[in-house]
Amino acid sequence: MHKKSALEKKDKNMEKEAFALVARLFKGKKRSDGKSLQTDHSQNVYEILKKYSFDKEILIAGILHDCIEDSEKDYDFLDEKFGKKVADIVSIVSQDKRLSKKEREKEYEKRIKMAGASAQYVKIADMIENLQSAKKNCLEEMQEWLRNWYREFNFRKEVKKHAIYKN
């Protein structure tokens, strides 16, 4: 049986701390789709990165990737709590909301293109998770539309059936 080393235990504790921070910062907060929770998004990004065995800093940055952009936490806080590499990655994948939307998107695109592989991995995992969420939401909306259509169809069928017998 494999005993965890002190480093492995520390890594797990840092992951737990990152998840705890996200839970506090985004408790009950819905994403822009109005359905999914921000905490679930962070968990899903982490799972995507973990599937490909990325190192602990990338995994932790995946958990925290929205913290600078969508909370009051800043680079210095993340650097102190999780280290420079995590803070650097989260900073790179965060948009600067002080800029106008057009300036922000242009600056962000440029920064992502010039970023190192670690930040790009986190960004790609974030994009994959966003696409998976959009697909899930789209499927749910289609299913709801079909259920409504089916109810309406059956209702009309029943109305016609009763109308025929009355005549």
Per-residue model confidence (pLDDT) at position 90: 97
Per-residue model confidence (pLDDT) at position 138: 82
Taking the C-alpha atoms of residue 60 and residue 80, their distance in angstroms, rounded to an integer, is: 14
Dihedral (CA of 113, 115, 116, 120) sign: negative
User: Any idea what the CATH number is for the domain that residue 40 is in?
Assistant: 1.10.3210.10
Q: Do the domain assignments include residue 1?
A: no
CB-based burial label for 98 (10 Å; 0-12, 13-18, 19+): exposed
Per-residue model confidence (pLDDT) at position 12: 77
Mean pLDDT by 10 residues, the chain (167 residues): 54 91 95 87 97 95 96 95 96 93 93 94 95 85 82 68 58
Per-residue model confidence (pLDDT) at position 117: 95
Taking the C-alpha atoms of residue 73 and residue 155, their distance in angstroms, rounded to an integer, is: 54
Total domains in the chain come to 1
pTM over 0.75: yes
Per-residue model confidence (pLDDT) at position 5: 44
Please give the residue range of the domain that contains residue 139: 6-166
Q: Do the domain assignments include residue 94?
A: yes
